[in-house]
Amino acid sequence: MTQNHFAALKLSRLLLEILSKEGYSDPTPVQKRLIPVLLSGTNTTVSAQTGSGKTLAFLLPAFEKMIPATLPPVHHYPKLFVLSPTKELAQQIYEVSRPFSRALGLRGVLLQGGGKRQEETRKLKQGVDVIVATPQRALEHIEAKHIDIKAVRHFVVDEADMMFDMGFVSYLEKIFGMLSTGAQKVVVSATITPRVVKLAKSYIQPLRRIELDPPGMIAETITQHLYPVVKSKKEALLSWLISTREIKKALVFVRKKELADGVAESLQSWGYKVGILHGERMHGERKRALLAFREGRISMLVATDIAARGLDIPDLDVVINYDIPHVKHDFIHRVGRTGRAGKEGVAMTLVSPDEIEQLHDLHKVLGSKIKEVILPEFAPKEVKARGYLIQAPQRRRGRTKPNATKRGDIVLNKKGKKRKTTKRDGFKLLDAKKKSSKKRR
Ligand code: ADP
Ligand code: MG
């Protein structure tokens, strides 16, 4: 066996063997940091970038503690309980857990809306050790006394802030309230928000906070491009990008379900094999579309933000944002479907003038990392004239730019030569602002 660096984290031989078999030899930074903390029994919130390996970071310590005295174990009762806001992510976490459950003789079950309730109940009654579930279905089984929630030793909430966005907080609060005080509680996301921390603090004492990356940071491995576009030309730009950039596989995000259907139809009419993933599709349809995309039987998946969280899709080099998401954090998660586990990825964002306000909101997150690409054929007139859509902070400090906001800035004059701005430039700018706000009124 080649050396497995997980050994330094004091994981037992049995787990090291499974890790090697599954192809993991070096722990990622979040795994290095979190595994010892969780092995010591600490409750914690964890924020680390998308694609940094959080799943194994929370699963491994729990499995280490679940290694049974005898193989196979004599009794089965729920010891590890993981909650995910979406079915797709629950399924994925369940798949990651399976080789470990199997090797340790532990039984796992996946509980999710749209799943076969009777089969879930049968498995629960036979006794399970590992539960991965979506919140509502989990609570239904708990209230029906199919799950001995007091027995749970390790409780994990993945993508915790999305629980708020999806209105699952009341389920979460109920479950938190039912756990035994001795259960270890772990709350995870790439975007831990203050309200998540507040909720966690009210149920978890003492609570440690581990931040590998400041919440909301986008992985360095993702190259981001922003394409300003006239709204009516979005579809044409999408088609142009896919063909000229020779995109073979892309996850296309849209804000609304109806739009997903429309964009998918267009992609199909251009000859691509397309799947659709949104909340109104049947459970089976969602499952089939994602599987086909994972396995490369379809090349494009058009999805709403339910697919933005946690999904790990092999060989996904390109994410296309057909628009800006409703929830600021979802942008980070959307683009985080690519550039995972140290691989390079590209995120293309199409933005029309009606989305400029949302874009401003996002700008704190995007900062200078996003590069504007102005394509004369698609960009709005005013953007073409100005040379940019939104001023990145570094441009404001930068040496040359076509317009000025501050006295002393360096701008280009009409002949393209550099000059410093004066007080008069400032007044001109103020006048222009007043004029445009009057027009809007
Ligand atoms: P996150 O939850 O932080 O977004 P995941 O847990 O989904 O990230 O992991 C992202 C990808 O990294 C997955 O494809 C996973 O198989 C891979 N991965 C996780 N840990 C390791 C590791 N130690 N070595 C190599 N790849 C890893
Ligand atoms: Mg994850």
**Does 371 fall in a domain?**
yes
Nearest CA to ligand 1 atom 12: 341
**Does 397 fall in a domain?**
no
Whether pLDDT at 418 is above 70: no
Ligand 1 centre and the CA of 38: distance in Å?
18
Q: Are residues 127 and 187 in the same domain?
A: yes
* pLDDT value for 398: 41
Ligand 2 centre and the CA of 176: distance in Å?
20
Q: Are residues 292 and 243 in the same domain?
A: yes
Weakest mean pLDDT among 38-42, 211-215, 331-335, 423-427: 423-427
Ligand 2 centre and the CA of 84: distance in Å?
9
Dist CA 326 CA 101 (whole Å): 38
Select from 148, 179, 211 the last residue of a domain.
Answer: 211
What is the atom index within ligand 1 of the atom nearest the CA of 6? 23
Whether pLDDT at 413 is above 90: no
Pairing of strands 108-111, 130-133: parallel
Instruction: Determine if ligand 1 sits within 6 Å of the CB of residue 24.
Output: yes
* pLDDT value for 399: 41
Mean pLDDT over 6-20 rounds to 95
Confidence of residue 425 (pLDDT cuts 50, 70, 90): low
What is the atom index within ligand 1 of the atom nearest the CA of 92? 7
Q: Are residues 36 and 83 in the same domain?
A: yes
Count of structural domains, the chain: 3
Q: In whole numbers, what is the pLDDT of the chain averaged over residues?
A: 90
* pLDDT value for 232: 97
Instruction: Determine if ligand 1 sits within 6 Å of the CB of residue 341.
Output: yes
CATH number of the CATH domain containing 287: 3.40.50.300
Burial of 240 (0-12, 13-18, 19+ CB in 10 A): middle
Ligand 1 centre and the CA of 388: distance in Å?
36
Instruction: Determine if ligand 1 sits within 6 Å of the CB of residue 281.
Output: no
**Does 70 fall in a domain?**
yes
**Does 398 fall in a domain?**
no
**Does 216 fall in a domain?**
no
Which of 312, 319, 333 is the pocket-test mutation for ligand 1 (most atoms within 8 Å of CB)?
312
Whether pLDDT at 419 is above 90: no
Confidence of residue 394 (pLDDT cuts 50, 70, 90): very low
Whether pLDDT at 401 is above 50: no
∠ CA 300-303-306, nearest 5°, is 140
Weakest mean pLDDT among 211-215, 300-304, 316-320, 389-393: 389-393
Do you know the residue count of the chain?
Answer: 441
Whether pLDDT at 367 is above 80: no
Instruction: Determine if ligand 1 sits within 6 Å of the CB of residue 52.
Output: yes
Whether pLDDT at 86 is above 70: yes
Q: Are residues 25 and 160 in the same domain?
A: yes
Q: Residue 242 belongs to what domain range?
A: 222-383
What is the atom index within ligand 1 of the atom nearest the CA of 24? 24
* pLDDT value for 212: 93
Q: Are residues 207 and 66 in the same domain?
A: yes
**Does 328 fall in a domain?**
yes
Name the token pair of 180.
């035994």
**Does 388 fall in a domain?**
no
* pLDDT value for 4: 80
Q: Are residues 73 and 157 in the same domain?
A: yes
Q: Are residues 205 and 298 in the same domain?
A: no
Q: Are residues 206 and 269 in the same domain?
A: no
| CA 140 to chain CA mean position, Å | 26
Q: Are residues 29 and 141 in the same domain?
A: yes
Weakest mean pLDDT among 188-202, 211-225, 386-400: 386-400
What is the atom index within ligand 1 of the atom nearest the CA of 310? 4
Q: Are residues 351 and 416 in the same domain?
A: no
**Does 400 fall in a domain?**
no
Select from 149, 182, 211 the last residue of a domain.
Answer: 211
Ligand 1 centre and the CA of 377: distance in Å?
40
Whether pLDDT at 407 is above 60: no
* pLDDT value for 395: 44
Q: Are residues 354 and 431 in the same domain?
A: no
Select from 211, 235, 261 the last residue of a domain.
Answer: 211
Whether pLDDT at 198 is above 70: yes
Q: Are residues 302 and 234 in the same domain?
A: yes
Nearest CA to ligand 1 atom 9: 53
Mean pLDDT over 380-396 rounds to 78
What is the atom index within ligand 1 of the atom nearest the CA of 341? 12
What is the atom index within ligand 1 of the atom nearest the CA of 96? 16
Nearest CA to ligand 1 atom 5: 53
